[in-house]
Structure 1
Amino acid sequence: MRKLGFDDDARMVVRIAQDRARSLQHPGIGSEHLLYGLADSPTRAGSVAREHGLTPGGVAMQTERLLTPSRTMFAGLDAGALATIGIDLNAVREAVEANFGLATAALPALTRRQRARLPGHMLVTSRAR
């Protein structure tokens, strides 16, 4: 039985995805990187994807929006929901910043291990496989 491998176009998409993952300092190649690689590739599949609105810029923007964590402890809190139980999120934020400074409201920076760029080949995440 012959083992099937990637053709040149598929390898190109994976290579673009790997470069994208590295540029974002992500630890592996995820489905979002593969989608970017497809949208950015000069292959026929990439051309069809772009014709249907899948652009590298659009993928990059959505990836950043969905995967980049907000840098404050107040991110993700629903001000409207808190207001229904009598909590004014803006007042809480102002009180924390006034009493403890702006730095307290920020989440800790990534550790060196989390930021580390991996040399050579990158692993593909289980979701992307």
Structure 2
Amino acid sequence: MAANDQPDSDRHGNRRRPGELEAEIITALVGAGRALTPAEVRERLDWSPPLSYSTVVTTLTRLFDKDAVTRQRDGRAYRYAAVTDAPALVAGRMGRLLRAEADHASVLRRFVSALDEQDEQLLRRLLLEAGD
């Protein structure tokens, strides 16, 4: 099996980053401006080879379980609509990961130390703005 045939590979045959497919699906739903079936979502994704229908359905179901999308029955399938956008989805994932650890200070310290200078400055600015 070729690298790009792996179910956990991205559109270029590289391993997908965690949450990448979820973010792209949310972006497709937001961009559509209406509820989409899994087949319609699949058509809007730019993956080569195309993702399987079951991969899209599984990812949409996970997003539904995370309250990131809503769904309504449409014949035998569901139509899905975004509740949030991709940045909010990532922020929620970060929050869940942090809450899963007892020592928040150590986790945040390591997170900040891993940031590049630009992101660290951005974080500092956002924290100052949030304090206002």
TM-score (norm 1): 0.28
Kindly indicate whether structure 1 or structure 2 has the higher relative contact order, using CA contacts under 8 Å at least 6 residues apart.
1
Q: Name the larger-Rg structure.
A: 1
Greater share of strand: 2
TM-score (norm 2): 0.28
